[in-house]
Amino acid sequence: MNAIRKFFVYKHSSENENIIYLSGELDLSAAPELAAVLDTVVGKANEALTIDLKELRYIDSTGIGMFVSMLKVRAAMQAPFRIQHVPAKIQRLFKLTGIARYITDHRSIYQTERAAERKEEIL
């Protein structure tokens, strides 16, 4: 029996930026796939990292934990990082978990400067 994939991750890299596009359902079963892609880009402080959530339909606590980890690493490096196109349902989860304070309201983009100022709050 073939399993139906519920999650897809695509990476687009340019000279100064990596964009990660997430689609489907980010849960425990999808975490290793996302982690494999993120491991190749999160530590590159000289390259901006953008996570695009336009096609993400669902995220569980595992996925939220991965975002918190990215916030910590990128803030500690003072590296450019943003989250864009956050669907309304996921914005609500980000608000409940405190991640939303690192995303600007008008464009749903995380600002590294805010994280650097508040990195002591991310425990």
How far apart are the C-alpha atoms of 14 and 61, rounded to whole Å?
Answer: 30
Q: Is residue 23 part of a domain?
A: yes
> Could you tell me the pTM of the whole model?
0.80
- Mean residue pLDDT of the chain comes to 83
Number of CB atoms found within 10 A of residue 54's CB: 12
Number of CB atoms found within 10 A of residue 98's CB: 12
How far apart are the C-alpha atoms of 48 and 55, rounded to whole Å?
Answer: 21
Query: What CATH number is given to the structural domain containing 83?
Result: 3.30.750.24
Write out pLDDT tens, residues 20-48: 999 999 999 999 999 999 999 999 999 99
* Count of structural domains within the chain: 1
DSSP 3-state of 48: strand
Q: Give helix then strand counts, H and E, for the chain.
A: 4, 4
Determine the structural domain holding residue 103 and report its residue range.
7-121
Q: Is residue 1 part of a domain?
A: no
When pLDDT is cut at 50, 70 and 90, the band that residue 14 belongs to is very high
Q: Is residue 18 part of a domain?
A: yes
Contact indicator for 27, 61 with CB cutoff of 8 Å: no
Q: Is residue 20 part of a domain?
A: yes
